């Protein structure tokens, strides 16, 4: 093998509990809005995830998947709240596993960002779908809307108990489906992030007010998910490092949450930021590796493994981040949409890396 093709530190395996991920270049969860109206996966999902598994990505985080029908963002979201759905996901997990990658799944409750149009129809995420048109009513910590979406109903105790039970059941279904890691989506303005941020949570009960109270509900979910997943498989949390807006979550708040997650037995933080509110200024700034520094701060604060996401453009950068010890792995989103074989690009003639069936092209 020519020296130019020697893999860098991004290609070292990483062990989390009893799961060994073959390398540190991972696929970020990206909603495809390609599911059947009952949340079942379709051929699109196999056609989409398949090449990234064949293409050498170490862990594929299957897109945000709803823990219940009322917790979806759109009627085209994937779901994993029934056994039938879990069994349908096996086609994906077995293909991914057979090609050497680790199948993982992101579990979602949308909260006030629920029941809208798919991005390319009408007003997209800002276009509400009412109950009369096949949508559903949504809950949130407080009756504060996201952008132009309708005012959500403030969740009562029974709603919160239902969400916790739904996450636990979805976790059991994820195990049944063959996923080897689950990720709790606690960012990007969805339900658990809404509880964490003072901008979306104005509750006066034990779930609102102080930072400790705002963490209480996401931590209940974390505990339920950890208990529902086998002890040999890791649980990740996608965490918000900052809301990028005055009055929102800061990196200091995120560090406190990270420490509590460590105490709950969470294994890895997938570190992102922003998009709690619709304002343009709450978007992460367009700069390379925007969440890498936050990830290393959270790693130091909590002792957990971390994997930043956001504008990590290629293998050289991934190798630097992992090699310098800033993070344990990286997640890539859009770069892997553009190029499913990105993880193999610096080994263009390495027969051990490329699938046997493609060797005649090397
Ligand atoms: C098409 C698309 C769908 C996405 N869906 C999700 C999702 O399901 N869950 C999530 O946490 N983030 C989602 N994101 C955000 C990505 O996971 C990632 O955090 C973001 O694109 C920044 O990483 P990148 O610069 O590598 O693309 C989505 C992004 C894109 C482009």
Look up residue 307 and give its two tokens. Answer: 């994997």
Band the pLDDT of 206: cuts 50, 70, 90. Answer: very high
Atom of ligand 1 at shortest range from CA of 334: 27
Print the domain residue range for 167: 3-361
Q: How far is the CA of 29 from the centre of ligand 1 (A)?
A: 6
Query: Percent of the chain scored above 70 by pLDDT?
Result: 99
* pLDDT per residue as tens digits for the range 138-164: 999 999 999 999 999 999 999 999 999
Q: What is the mean pLDDT of residues 21-35?
A: 98
CATH number at residue 174: 3.20.20.70
Reference 348, options 335, 333, 330, 361; nearest CA is: 361
Residue nearest to atom 15 of ligand 1 (CA): 30
Reference 33, options 83, 99, 79, 1; nearest CA is: 79
Q: Measure CA of the first residue to CA of the last residue in the chain; give whole Å.
A: 13
* pLDDT per residue as tens digits for the range 68-102: 999 999 999 999 999 999 999 999 999 999 999 99
Domain count, the chain: 1
- The DSSP secondary-structure symbol of 8 reads -
Band the pLDDT of 4: cuts 50, 70, 90. Answer: low
CB distance 295 to 325 below 8 Å = no
Q: Is the CB of 174 under 6 A from ligand 1?
A: no
Reference 67, options 152, 151, 154, 182; nearest CA is: 182
> Structure pTM?
0.98
Atom of ligand 1 at shortest range from CA of 106: 9
Q: Is pLDDT at 348 greater than 70 in this prediction?
A: yes
Q: What is the mean pLDDT of residues 255-271?
A: 98
CB distance 55 to 344 below 8 Å = yes
Band the pLDDT of 5: cuts 50, 70, 90. Answer: low
Q: Is pLDDT at 266 greater than 60 in this prediction?
A: yes
**Cross-strand partners of 184:** 107, 237
Which helix (DSSP H) or strand (DSSP E) does residue 61 occupy?
strand 59-66
Residue 259 burial by Cβ neighbours in a 10 Å radius (0-12, 13-18, 19+): middle
The question of whether 179 is a catalytic residue gets the answer no
The pairing of beta strand 19-21 with beta strand 14-16:
antiparallel
Q: What is the mean pLDDT of residues 176-181?
A: 98
Residue nearest to atom 21 of ligand 1 (CA): 333
CB distance 308 to 327 below 8 Å = yes
| Of 33, 49, 179, 190, catalytic | 190
């Amino acid at each position: 093998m020519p020296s130019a093709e020697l893999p860098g530190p991004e290609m070292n395996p990483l062990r989390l509990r009893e799961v060994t991920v073959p390398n540190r270049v991972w696929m970020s969860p990206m909603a495809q809005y390609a599911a059947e109206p009952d949340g079942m996966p379709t051929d699109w999902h196999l056609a989409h995830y398949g090449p990234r598994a064949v293409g050498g990505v170490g862990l594929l985080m299957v897109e945000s998947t709803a823990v219940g029908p009322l917790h979806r963002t759109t009627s085209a979201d994937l779901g994993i709240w029934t056994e039938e759905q879990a069994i349908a996901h096996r086609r994906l997990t077995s293909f991914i596993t057979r090609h050497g990658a680790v199948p993982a799944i992101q579990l979602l409750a949308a909260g006030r960002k629920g029941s809208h149009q798919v991005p390319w129809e009408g007003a997209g995420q800002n276009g509400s779908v009412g109950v009369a048109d096949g949508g559903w009513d949504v809950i949130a910590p407080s009756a504060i809307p996201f952008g132009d979406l309708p005012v959500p109903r403030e969740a009562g105790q029974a709603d919160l108990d239902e969400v916790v039970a739904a996450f636990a059941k979805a976790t059991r279904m994820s195990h049944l489906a063959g996923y080897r890691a689950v990720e709790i989506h606690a960012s990007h303005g969805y339900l658990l992030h809404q509880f964490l941020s003072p901008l979306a949570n104005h509750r006066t009960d034990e779930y609102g007010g102080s930072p400790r109270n705002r963490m209480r509900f996401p931590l209940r979910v974390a505990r339920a998910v950890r208990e529902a997943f086998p002890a040999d498989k890791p649980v990740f949390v996608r965490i918000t490092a900052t809301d990028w807006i005055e009055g929102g979550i800061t990196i200091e708040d995120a560090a406190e949450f990270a420490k509590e997650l460590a105490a709950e037995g969470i294994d890895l933080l997938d570190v992102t930021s922003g998009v709690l509110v619709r304002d343009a200024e709450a978007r992460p700034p367009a700069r390379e590796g925007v969440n890498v520094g936050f990830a290393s701060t959270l790693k130091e604060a909590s002792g957990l493994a971390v994997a930043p996401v956001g504008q990590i453009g290629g293998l050289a950068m991934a190798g630097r981040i992992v090699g310098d010890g800033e993070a344990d792995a990286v997640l890539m989103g859009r770069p892997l949409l553009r190029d499913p074989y990105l993880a193999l690009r610096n080994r263009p003639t390495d027969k051990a890396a490329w699938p046997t069936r493609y060797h005649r092209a090397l």
